[in-house]
Structure 1
Amino acid sequence: MALQISATNPEQPAVLLDLPWSLPLEEWPDDCLVALPRGISRHVVRFAEAGSEVLAVKEIAERPAVREFGLLRDLHRLGIPAVDPVAVVTGRVDADGRPLESALITRHLKGSLPYRSMFESTMRPSTVKRLMDALAVLLVRLHLTGFAWGDCSLSNALFRRDAGAYAAYLVDAETGQIQPTLSRGQRDYDIELARVNIAGELMDLEASGSLHPSVDPVPFGAAIVRRYEDLWHELTRESVYPVDKGHYIDRRIRRLNELGFDVAEMQIERSPVGDTVTFLPKVVDAGHHQRQLLRLTGLDAEENQARRLLNDLESWMAGQDDYAPGDPLGARPEVLAHRWVRDVFRPTVRAVPLELRSRTDAAQTYHEVLEHRWYLSERAGKDVGRDAAIEDYVAHIAPCSEPDSVAGTGAHEA
């Protein structure tokens, strides 16, 4: 059987051919591998360099590899935070012609970490809670699109900094399935699995001495259930308002926007006697601030990062002489946003040395500089300015930046 590479990009197979597919993944030479933190997996996983990209290669049987590749492509099309599928490699044989397992290839998610790497230094309970919140948001987003995960856990997700919070990405879709809608029982099954898996994972950390003494694994495992239920209720509940309180509907939509979700479709019905209206958001899409920032500036960021950058953009625009909302002679928001990217955002990010800012994405770097400017200004009792904030950030914060932990010297709680 000949080696076959099925890729999302027609140019990808030529680059992938250079990797040593005739060797079991465990025996790949160091010169083609990249040393990055790996989470726990039932399969052999390695990070490899192919061209200018870093790829995650997972050895797995052909049928589940092809199935998971298709599911990841579906999730990518639906805009769900998940690792980006690159290719499936089948027909592998060793030098003696003996068959080897197939390989699923995904793109390394820059700036992301598996949860065990984040616990190498004991994390604050507040940070553990933010990880649980991120995983709950991911599970809600999956369920809204009809995806039953079947194995929700900390191990099957990656986490990236997202302003003061974290964003969770699905990294293992092997047990998942997509349906038009999920029943309550299907959602409950995922939630219960998440509770049990997370409690078990935290117990493992506790046994190894990596868990903060104040973190009790069982209550923290149960916390994701409450967070999930609260968010699901807010996004899907049916509301009944007096007919003369139509602005309540606008207030509900704004509340959903603040949570990072857009109402793409809604159902509004008047009661038989005409004294009340019933409002039900039919389709709720995540990434409200992401899309707004992308439309205005062309910058692609996580949801909380986007919210923070939009706030800074709006404050900056308000101080511009040609900013006049509603005035046809004033500069349009798109024009001002472009100027903000050119004159404020990019110079700020580029002022941070490349070796420091390359650890994370540009939006997170900008957010951290903003947070540090706020911290210094509060301490000084006046605005210290952008240049002073950048200089102090580069000198004292960026070199020792790490996920919030007891040992983290550069973290400031907002």
Structure 2
Amino acid sequence: MTSLNITSATADPALLDLPWNLPLDTWPEDSIATLPKGISRHLVRFAYLSGYVIAIKETSGEMARSEYEMLRTLQRMDIPCVDPLAVITNRRDNDGNELNPVLVTRHLKFSLPYRALYSQRLRPDTAARLVDALALLLVRLHIIGFYWGDVSLSNTLFRRDAGAFAAYLVDAETGKLYPGGLSNGQRENDLEVARVNIAGELLDLEAGDRLDEDVDAVDVAAGIVAKYRSLWKELTGTETFSDAERWRINDRVERLNDLGFDIEELAIKTTEGGTQVKIQPKVVDAGHHSRRLLRLTGLDAQENQARRLLNDLDAYRSKNDRVELDEEMVAHEWAARVFEPVVRAIPRELRGRLEPAEVFHQMLEHRWYLSQAQGRDVPIAEALTSYINDVLRHRRDEQMVIAPPTGAITLPTAIQLEHEEDDWRSKV
């Protein structure tokens, strides 16, 4: 242990207490957190550290350091990815034998690998949403010049985002960053890798009778190509239209905002005769709604969650004659009078079931279904009580989905989450 080397930007002294003198596959059960995980070419295990969970991957020293630095770079560029904590090298057992270096990352709360996002079988709508989320992540990576090289569902974690999923990069081992941007060939190669890998992963589920019979693995995998191309065109394409159709500039910006992107620069050019205008988004970044919500309320939420919360904020502003008031003042009032009381009303034992923003979103959905079923505008307090008792109490914790303490992660009960998400709608 005296030769142990730890490279970390924010070193946690508790790292020294973990049994680094043992091969990772022999760590004692009291050090291991049994969580669902994806397929990996390396041995990966989860462990408890200072009140949170870390993921530990055995690899080579060079690859661990390279991936650690790449993940830190992606974080600085606001790309959704896991948080790199440390690289640990010079590990030796009690007999002095050399052990593999490891990369340590923080477990992403409320996230699940794709294999844990089905109950009995992965259904068509869920499969499509996962692929859509991965396509958006891939577009964001390509825009900053990142070539992934191993795009797959297994190398991605998914968090629920107001009925959709948000994708986070987990494995950056094969990734490279090109400051000058990617060539079309590099982008197409990543797309082909994604298509082949996703098809293989879904066919693997099919072989285990865990893919809905209505899901065509090849078609779903091909869907990432179509989704990617439409997103890429929307974000980087050039439009030409008549001078009388200048409204299309704002329309294009709104479509990009709806996809969760902001515009840093627009290139508008009038051609000879002044009848044509071209619009070209030069640099874009994701998170339009989440950043607006954070600026107005201090709430940090996923993009679709933020869009839903902002819609409720806008409705509150209109309903309560606050349209003429300062937006930030109204947002503060909404947070204090609407959002925070809902979150505080959640019983303590249920607060790990979902993120607060997701709880609020689902409560609004539940209220809408109740109102439709009863033909009246159900008050928030009544809808919240119904949601807590009829829906939330029957969900499992997503902050940390833990399987039974066995050597194999079989997840016999914790992977019922997707059916539970749909079942709550049928309760109203």
For the aligned pair, the TM-score class normalised by the smaller chain equals: over 0.9
| Structure 1 counterpart SS, 2:190 | helix
* CA RMSD in angstroms, aligned pairs only: 1.8
Aligned 1:6-405 pairs, distance under 5 A = 6-9=7-10, 12-180=11-179, 181-321=181-321, 323-325=322-324, 330=325, 332-401=326-395, 403-405=417-419
**Per-residue deviation at 1:407?**
9.3
The answer (yes or no) to whether the contact 2:268–2:280 under 8 Å persists in 1 is yes
The answer (yes or no) to whether the contact 1:110–1:361 under 8 Å persists in 2 is no
What does the per-residue CA deviation read over 1:304-327, in whole Å, with 9 as the maximum and x for residues that have no partner? Answer: 000000001111122335x242xx
**Per-residue deviation at 1:154?**
0.7
The answer (yes or no) to whether the contact 1:122–1:406 under 8 Å persists in 2 is no
Amino acid at match of 1:4: N
**1-side partners of 2:241 and 2:265: how far apart?**
18
**Per-residue deviation at 1:176?**
0.4
**2-side partners of 1:102 and 1:237: how far apart?**
44
**1-side partners of 2:427 and 2:23: how far apart?**
45
The answer (yes or no) to whether the contact 2:317–2:323 under 8 Å persists in 1 is no
Change (3 A) 1:335 1:165: same
| Structure 2 counterpart SS, 1:405 | helix
What does the per-residue CA deviation read over 1:261-307, in whole Å, with 9 as the maximum and x for residues that have no partner? Answer: 11111212221332212111101111100110000001111100000
The answer (yes or no) to whether the contact 1:125–1:214 under 8 Å persists in 2 is yes
Structure 1 residues 30-39 or 149-158, which shifts more?
A: 30-39
Q: Which residue of 1 aligns with 2:423?
A: 409
**Per-residue deviation at 1:337?**
1.2
Larger RCO of the pair (alpha carbons < 8 Å, separation 6+): 2
The answer (yes or no) to whether the contact 1:72–1:84 under 8 Å persists in 2 is yes
Change (3 A) 1:68 1:360: same
The answer (yes or no) to whether the contact 1:203–1:217 under 8 Å persists in 2 is yes
Q: Which residue of 1 aligns with 2:413?
A: none
**Per-residue deviation at 1:246?**
2.4
Amino acid at match of 2:54: L
Amino acid at match of 1:150: G
What does the per-residue CA deviation read over 1:230-278, in whole Å, with 9 as the maximum and x for residues that have no partner? Answer: 1111111101122243222111111111111111112122213322121
Can you give the 5+ residue segments of structure 2 that lack an aligned partner in the other structure? 396-415
**1-side partners of 2:341 and 2:351: how far apart?**
13
**Per-residue deviation at 1:362?**
1.0
With the length of structure 2 as denominator, give the TM-score of the two structures.
0.91
Change (3 A) 1:413 1:263: farther
| Structure 2 counterpart SS, 1:272 | coil
With the length of structure 1 as denominator, give the TM-score of the two structures.
0.94
**Per-residue deviation at 1:207?**
0.6
Change (3 A) 1:284 1:101: same
**1-side partners of 2:33 and 2:14: how far apart?**
16
The answer (yes or no) to whether the contact 1:261–1:286 under 8 Å persists in 2 is yes
**Per-residue deviation at 1:193?**
0.5
The runs of at least 4 consecutive aligned structure 1 residues that moved more than 6 Å come to none
Amino acid at match of 1:7: S
**1-side partners of 2:21 and 2:125: how far apart?**
46
| Structure 2 counterpart SS, 1:166 | strand
| Structure 2 counterpart SS, 1:17 | helix
Can you give the 5+ residue segments of structure 1 that lack an aligned partner in the other structure? none
Percent of counterpart pairs with the same letter?
52
Change (3 A) 1:405 1:125: farther
**Per-residue deviation at 1:412?**
5.8
The answer (yes or no) to whether the contact 1:5–1:90 under 8 Å persists in 2 is yes
**1-side partners of 2:28 and 2:377: how far apart?**
53
**Per-residue deviation at 1:395?**
1.3
Structure 1 residues 368-377 or 271-280, which shifts more?
A: 271-280
The answer (yes or no) to whether the contact 1:400–1:408 under 8 Å persists in 2 is no
The answer (yes or no) to whether the contact 2:114–2:157 under 8 Å persists in 1 is yes
What does the per-residue CA deviation read over 1:343-399, in whole Å, with 9 as the maximum and x for residues that have no partner? Answer: 211211221223323132111111111111111111111111111111111111113
**Per-residue deviation at 1:409?**
2.9
Structure 1 residues 383-392 or 293-302, which shifts more?
A: 383-392
The answer (yes or no) to whether the contact 2:145–2:182 under 8 Å persists in 1 is yes
**2-side partners of 1:170 and 1:398: how far apart?**
29
**2-side partners of 1:127 and 1:223: how far apart?**
13
What count of residue pairs does the alignment treat as equivalent?
406
Change (3 A) 1:283 1:165: same
Amino acid at match of 1:409: D
